Amino acid sequence: MEISLLTLLYIIASVTFIIGLKMLSHPDSARKGNLIAAGGMTLAIFGTIFLYRDEAGNKLHNYAWIFGGIVIGCIIGTLSAKKVKMTAMPEMVSLFNGMGGACAALISLVEFNHLQHTLENSRIELLMMDAAGPVQATLLVIMAGLIIGSVSFAGSVIAWGKLNGKIKDFSFNGQHIFNIVLLLVIVGLAAYIIGWLPENASLIFYAAFVLSLLYGVFFVLPIGGADMPVVISLLNSFTGVAAACGGFLYGNKVMLTGGILVGAAGTLLTILMCKAMNRSLANVLIGSFGGGAKGIAGDTNKEAGHHKEINIMDTAVVMAYANKVIIVPGYGLAVAQAQHACHELEKLLNERGVEVKYAIHPVAGRMPGHMNVLLAEADVSYEKLEEMEQANEEFPTTDVVLILGANDVVNPAAKTDPSSPIYGMPILDVELAKTIIVNKRSMKPGYAGIENDLFYRPKTSMLFGDAKKVLQDLIAEIKSI
């Protein structure tokens, strides 16, 4: 009866994962979907703790360790989530994702030691009875979980360091060839263990473990900062696949289902992100977009000309008497923690009869959905958020576009300059609006490391300053009109 009850709980939990994932696809239902999926995970965890039986019918007994780990993890996770600033959300997501990869790798380490102990006691019997097949199948799953989990963990830690500025982009001549050779060595070691069951398997196994960690580091190090949203999504799919391997090892259906869902969702999101940037995944991993753009802006600078500035008073007048305003949020908005001031400006303009919307580029910010989360924190209505395709249809009828800290996602070079590293990347066509106002701290290039020709065009005016301070001053000025 208990086994059937546990199976039922696993089915319910799996269904909640699917429903939650579906609800996460829309901002209006994302929060509820997250809670539903979390509820299913809680059900699966406690069902496993109290109802699981092994083949001999034994229950779990080390409750002190189990609940001690749960309590410590919950405290750390809750405090981290509450203390983190929205600007640091991408690196927190990357770090938490890395922890999932580490867990999958640890499962493989534990299960390999357990399997090795079994082999040491019955190696001759296994070989004589031709029972190596099931052992090799188990080793295949263990090695897959170890390699993928280790790469995900090490890569996520490097991504975390790059996002918070503690680790700089690093590459050397022939690094991609080095990475390929390193990966082939890892796969070769795994194949040797699985195919031949050598007596020194332990040494080879731990060598593969260390090399997988090393590969994860060198896999992410050369990738440029502008590609971090794609990298985070890809590493997330790795973690899902590694977790699914753990589900195979333990015959745990809900763990398998959850891992497959995460792996599939991460893979699809990675494909969509690449499509939004008009680049292949191979180009993302090899191209180092935003990671080595030294001097790329040189030729662009020669044609840049001079920019013109606008003050708060003139900006207030232009926006207060406009019919339609579209706000383009970027990472600069997140850095300044200006989302609440932005929402206040939106409400003030609405009161004056101005239609206000937000244009969201798929890769704006430092992780998938960064801008959506940022604006949701300020209670911006989901109906006002427009995806790139929708926004591009409205720019020709827009009086004012206010760009807050965005750069590469509005750079016309993506459409006009074949030599640009972002050429072919779909962008927000803000240049079609009647007036473009760009708020930045300075004229420094964006993450791709190239100048933005938009800043020097006749319809564009630069409004320099911290986004939060500028918006607060703008609100005060509009109120006085």
User: Which residues carry out catalysis?
Assistant: 408
Query: For residue 450, with 0-12 CB atoms within 10 Å meaning exposed, 13-18 middle and 19 or more buried, which class applies?
Result: buried
Measured CA distances, 472 to 28, 344, 346, 379, 407 (Å): 28, 9, 12, 17, 22
Contact 15, 33 (CB under 8 A): no
DSSP state, residue 378? T
Tell me the C-alpha distance between 179 and 185, whole Å: 10
What is the Rg, in whole angstroms, of the alpha carbon atoms belonging to the chain?
26
DSSP state, residue 108? H
Q: Residue 11 has which token pair? A: 């089915």
Q: In what order do the strands lie in the sheet with 435-440?
A: 385-387, 355-360, 324-329, 400-404, 435-440, 460-464
SS3 293: coil
**Which residues, at least 6 apart from 453, have a Cβ–Cβ distance to it below 8 Å?**
300, 303, 304, 411, 412, 413, 416, 417
- Tell me the residue type at 438: V
Tell me the C-alpha distance between 172 and 222, whole Å: 8
DSSP state, residue 338? -
- Tell me the residue type at 96: F
| CA distance from start to end of the chain | 73
Tell me the C-alpha distance between 418 and 425, whole Å: 11
Q: Count CB-CB contacts under 10 A for residue 393.
A: 12
- Tell me the residue type at 440: K
Pairing of strands 324-329, 355-360: parallel
Tell me the C-alpha distance between 375 and 340, whole Å: 8
Q: Residue 443 has which token pair? A: 């004229």
The helix or strand, by DSSP H or E, that contains position 370, with its residue range, turns out to be helix 370-377
Tell me the C-alpha distance between 226 and 421, whole Å: 11
Number of H helices, E strands in the chain: 18, 6
